[in-house]
């Protein structure tokens, strides 16, 4: 293979990109946190660092609590479907013995009841919350 493209950065020029730093003005009375040259900038930088760290901890804690609650809700749904619902299905198996149409009706009804309530919760959460 032959490299005939060259450097990609040679084909880019800065004139195509807008200069976004022209419209930004910082007040002169606050110390400059970006440089940290004086004591006020260093102290303000440390305070901002602590506040952002506390914010990140709160966001991570909230996400963890949300994740655990979703796992517990999903486990409860699976428990109900696999143990409680199947118990009800097998309970009516004597009534459906040797009767295909009745068995299909029971199967369709239980499928609708046991699957679409989950979709109802999802639609409720999506459109109303």
The residue behind tokens 């007040």 is: 27
The whole-number pLDDT of residue 22 equals 65
Q: Are 88 and 102 in contact (CB under 8 A)?
A: no
Tokens of 38: 């004086």
The whole-number pLDDT of residue 51 equals 94
Domain locations along the chain: 1-77, 92-129
Q: What contacts 26, CB < 8 A, 6 or more positions away?
A: 32
The whole-number pLDDT of residue 50 equals 95
Within 10 A of 53 (CB to CB), how many other CB atoms are there? 10
Round the CA-based radius of gyration of the chain to a whole number and report it.
31
The whole-number pLDDT of residue 83 equals 78
Q: What contacts 59, CB < 8 A, 6 or more positions away?
A: none
The tens place of each residue's pLDDT in the chain, 129 residues long, gives: 565 656 666 666 666 666 666 666 655 665 555 655 677 777 888 898 999 999 999 999 999 988 988 898 888 877 877 777 777 778 878 888 888 888 888 888 887 877 787 788 888 888 887
**pTM over the 0.85 mark:** no
The whole-number pLDDT of residue 8 equals 61
The whole-number pLDDT of residue 26 equals 59
- Rounded to the nearest 5 degrees, what angle is found at the Cα of 74, between the Cα atoms of 84 and 115? 55
The whole-number pLDDT of residue 59 equals 92
Q: What contacts 71, CB < 8 A, 6 or more positions away?
A: none
What is residue 96's DSSP assignment? T
Q: What contacts 118, CB < 8 A, 6 or more positions away?
A: 77
The whole-number pLDDT of residue 60 equals 93
């Amino acid at each position: 293979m032959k490299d005939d493209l060259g450097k990609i950065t040679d084909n880019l020029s800065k004139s195509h990109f807008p200069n976004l730093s022209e419209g930004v003005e910082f007040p002169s009375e606050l110390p400059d946190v970006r440089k940290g040259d004086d004591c006020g900038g260093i102290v303000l930088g440390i305070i901002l660092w602590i506040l952002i760290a506390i914010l990140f901890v709160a966001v991570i804690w909230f996400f963890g609590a949300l994740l655990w609650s979703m796992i517990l809700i999903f486990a409860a749904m699976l428990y109900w479907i696999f143990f409680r619902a199947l118990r009800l299905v097998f309970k009516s198996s004597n009534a459906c013995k040797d009767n295909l149409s009745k068995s299909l009706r029971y199967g369709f009804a239980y499928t609708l009841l046991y699957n679409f309530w989950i979709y109802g919760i999802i639609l409720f959460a999506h459109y109303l919350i």
